């Protein structure tokens, strides 16, 4: 008889689970009701029925079904979470808060209960309690930290200081996540402060990455502040970095030093030449050996400037056997807050062989511009089509003078 009873009970439970699974998948309430009739003491049957009722919009009945499941299995934090979500959906914010607290009490080391409780506090305007719970959730599940930052940004009315207080970054990873978020949202100076808070744990790779992001956001003064820290060549606005090409070239250094065109193949070669510099010990040499695209910026540098000021750019160049229909010149380009705009061009370099010649160009900086870009490029050839260049060009002594 005992065996028969066990078989009968197991069959009812199995049938109930089968019917309840079908009811949830097919959204069939009669199947869910049948499962409850088969095993009224099974919390899974009530849970399945509550899910079907929730999907059908019958919130009051779904709430009763969740409460019935909880009576049968009160230690299940998932049931408390689902009840909390349903109560909140039904407008019972205090009841939802109580359910989420119960979920946290039953699973204090899980992220999801604390995340739901924190969000519930936040919707009630209890910010301090909200972010205490949300931080605990993110500590248990670091993948939630970016979402925490996003919530804090809007909860703080886009105030960078309040954001930092709410998310309380502790590790270098968290500080860097906050910094990147602030760059994307136009708070560049606060982003730099977050990077500095990392201290000794910061790396040059992190610094270079943030400089690139600041440059992409056109936050030039903040990018320069981060780029120049620890460098002996740091300058005030209006000064060119290594205008005499005396320092070693760093091709991976995106920032405010010289940047060289890449992927030019054998058509253009760059080198630092100690032979016959205009001043100092070296000059920059460009060797042209065939077709290269006119207009490509061969050599560039970003320079901080004073908005609204007038400047004079000077540089020196010499050539040897230069043959081209597209001679070289220096462009001065405003790196504006939104887009770039041309400001002035130097006179084209003379072709053939010429000793060092000085050239200069004057320009006014727009009032909303805090950086310019110097760019050496070739002019377009008449008639278009292939435009080869052969020979050598040397540059030296780039200087910027405020007038």
Share of the chain above pLDDT 70, in %: 88
**What is residue 250's predicted lDDT score, i.e. its pLDDT?**
75
Segment 340-362 mean pLDDT: 94
In the predicted structure, residue 125 carries a pLDDT above the cut 80: yes
Q: Residue 108 and residue 114: Cα distance in Å, rounded? A: 8
User: pTM score, two decimals?
Assistant: 0.82
In the predicted structure, residue 145 carries a pLDDT above the cut 70: yes
Mark 14-53 as b/e (b = at least 16 C-beta within 10 Å): eebbebbeebbeeeebebbbbbbebbeebbbbbbbbbbbb
pLDDT digits (tens, 9 = 90+) for 26-80: 556 676 666 667 777 777 777 778 787 777 788 888 888 888 889 989 999 999 9
pLDDT digits (tens, 9 = 90+) for 72-105: 899 999 999 999 999 998 899 999 999 999 999 9
**What is residue 133's predicted lDDT score, i.e. its pLDDT?**
97
Which residues fall within 8 angstroms of residue 132, CB to CB, at 6 or more apart? Answer: 118
Q: Residue 155 and residue 120: Cα distance in Å, rounded? A: 13
Q: From edge to edge, which strands make up the β-sheet containing 259-260?
A: 259-260, 299-304, 371-378, 328-335, 340-345
Q: Residue 160 and residue 189: Cα distance in Å, rounded? A: 10
| Residue 85 exposure: Cα atoms within 13 Å on the Cβ side | 15
Both ends of the chain: CA-CA distance in Å? 107
**What is residue 4's predicted lDDT score, i.e. its pLDDT?**
45
Q: Residue 219 and residue 245: Cα distance in Å, rounded? A: 26
Q: Residue 122 and residue 116: Cα distance in Å, rounded? A: 10
**What is residue 383's predicted lDDT score, i.e. its pLDDT?**
67
- Write out the H or E segment, with its range, that includes residue 356: strand 352-364
**What is residue 278's predicted lDDT score, i.e. its pLDDT?**
94
Measured in degrees and rounded to the nearest 5, phi and psi for residue 286 equal: -115, 125
**What is residue 266's predicted lDDT score, i.e. its pLDDT?**
82
Q: Which of 14, 83, 28, 92 has the alpha carbon at shortest distance from 56?
A: 28
- 29-38, 200-209, 238-247, 365-374: which has the minimum mean pLDDT? 29-38
**What is residue 5's predicted lDDT score, i.e. its pLDDT?**
39
- Work out whether strand 310-324 and strand 259-260 pair parallel, antiparallel, or are unpaired: unpaired
Q: How far is CA 84 from the centre of its chain?
A: 34
Domains and CATH numbers, the chain: 2-165 (1.25.40.10), 169-230 (no CATH), 259-402 (2.60.120.260)
């Amino acid at each position: 008889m005992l065996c028969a009873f066990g078989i009968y009970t197991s069959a009812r439970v199995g049938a109930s689970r089968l019917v309840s699974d079908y009811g949830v998948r097919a959204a069939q309430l009669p199947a869910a009701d049948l499962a409850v009739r088969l095993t009224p003491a099974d919390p899974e049957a009530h849970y399945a029925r509550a899910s079907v009722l929730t999907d059908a919009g019958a919130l009051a009945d779904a709430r009763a079904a969740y409460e019935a499941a909880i009576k049968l299995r009160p230690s299940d934090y998932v049931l408390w979470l689902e009840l909390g979500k349903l109560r909140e959906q039904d407008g019972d914010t205090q009841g939802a808060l109580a359910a989420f607290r119960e979920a946290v009490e039953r699973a204090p080391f899980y992220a999801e209960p604390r995340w739901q409780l924190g969000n519930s506090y936040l919707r009630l305007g209890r910010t301090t309690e909200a972010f205490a719970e949300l931080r605990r959730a993110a500590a248990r599940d670091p993948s939630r930290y970016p979402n925490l930052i996003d919530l804090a940004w809007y909860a703080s009315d886009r105030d960078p200081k309040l954001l930092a207080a709410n998310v309380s970054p502790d590790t270098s990873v968290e500080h860097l996540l906050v910094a990147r978020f602030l760059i994307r949202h136009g708070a560049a100076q606060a982003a730099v402060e977050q990077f500095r808070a990392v201290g000794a744990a910061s790396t040059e790779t992190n610094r270079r990455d943030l400089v690139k992001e600041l440059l992409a956001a056109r936050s030039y003064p903040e990018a320069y502040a981060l780029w120049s820290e620890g460098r002996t060549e740091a300058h005030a606005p209006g000064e060119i970095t290594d205008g005499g090409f005396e320092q070693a070239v760093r091709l991976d250094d995106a920032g405010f030093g010289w940047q060289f065109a890449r992927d030019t193949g054998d058509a253009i070669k760059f080198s630092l030449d100690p032979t016959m510099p205009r001043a100092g010990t070296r000059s920059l040499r460009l060797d042209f050996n065939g077709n290269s695209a006119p207009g490509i910026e061969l050599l560039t540098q970003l320079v901080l400037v004073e908005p609204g000021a007038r400047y004079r750019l000077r540089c020196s160049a010499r050539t040897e056997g230069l043959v081209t229909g597209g001679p070289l010149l220096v462009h001065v380009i405003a790196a504006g807050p939104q887009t770039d705009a041309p400001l002035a061009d130097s006179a084209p370099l003379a072709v053939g062989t010429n000793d060092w010649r000085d050239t200069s160009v004057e320009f006014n900086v727009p009032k909303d511009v805090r950086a310019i870009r110097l760019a050496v490029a070739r002019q377009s050839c008449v008639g278009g089509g292939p435009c080869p260049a052969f020979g050598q060009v040397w540059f030296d002594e780039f200087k910027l003078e405020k007038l």
